[in-house]
Amino acid sequence: LNHRNSNQIIRRRQRNHVNNRRQPGPMQYVFYAILNTDLHMNRGTAAANIAVGLMLLYNIIDTDQVKCQYIDSWTKNGQRIVILKGYDHRHLKYLQQEVKFIALGTYAVRQRWGRNKAIIVLTVFGQKEDLEDVFEGLTYLR
C-alpha cells in the first residue's frame, strides 16, 4: 500500500510539474525602416519618408486576409518599430533582396533623385528573430 501511494504521488507531481526551462514566448513581429543616409535631407523630410513607408506597408499587410493576424500580434506585443541607417541605394536594394523570402512584407519608398529613382526608405515587417540576422551590422538612426 505504501509503495502504491508513493507511485501515485510521483505521477501526480509529474503531471503538475511546471518546467522551469525557458519556453519560447509568442512570436515577436517588428517593423524595420532603413533610411538611405547617402542622400542628404533634413530630419523632417527623413521622418516624413519613414512615416510614409511604415504606413503604406502597414496598410498593405493589414488588408491581406492571411497576414493581418500578424499585425494583430504586433499590436498586442508592444508595436515595436526599429529605424536603422542604410548606406546608399545599392545597400537598400541588397537588403531588399536578402529579406525577400524571410519578411512578411517589404515596401521601398522611391523618389527621383537626379536622373534616377533612388530608394529613400526600405520598410520591412517580419519576425524579429529572422530579421535580426540580416540587419545585425546596421546602427540605429538617432
Domains detected in the chain: 22-140 (3.40.1490.10)
Phi and psi based region of residue 74 (left: phi greater than 0; alpha: psi -120 to 50; beta: remaining) = alpha
CB distance 39 to 118 below 8 Å: yes
Amino acid occupying residue 37: T
What kind and span of H or E run contains 2? helix 2-16
In angstroms, rounded to a whole number, what is the distance separating the alpha carbons of residues 88 and 115? 16
* pLDDT value of position 14: 57
| pLDDT tens, per residue, the chain with 142 residues | 455 555 655 555 555 544 444 345 567 899 999 999 998 889 999 999 999 999 999 999 999 988 989 999 999 988 999 999 999 999 999 999 999 999 999 999 998 867 888 899 999 999 999 898 899 889 998 8
Name the residue among 131, 72, 141 with its Cα closest to residue 96.
131
What pLDDT does 4 receive?
Answer: 55
Encoded amino acid at 28, one letter: Q
**pLDDT of res. 55:** 96
Of 65, 63, 53, which is closest to residue 125 (Cα–Cα)?
A: 53
**Global pTM?**
0.78
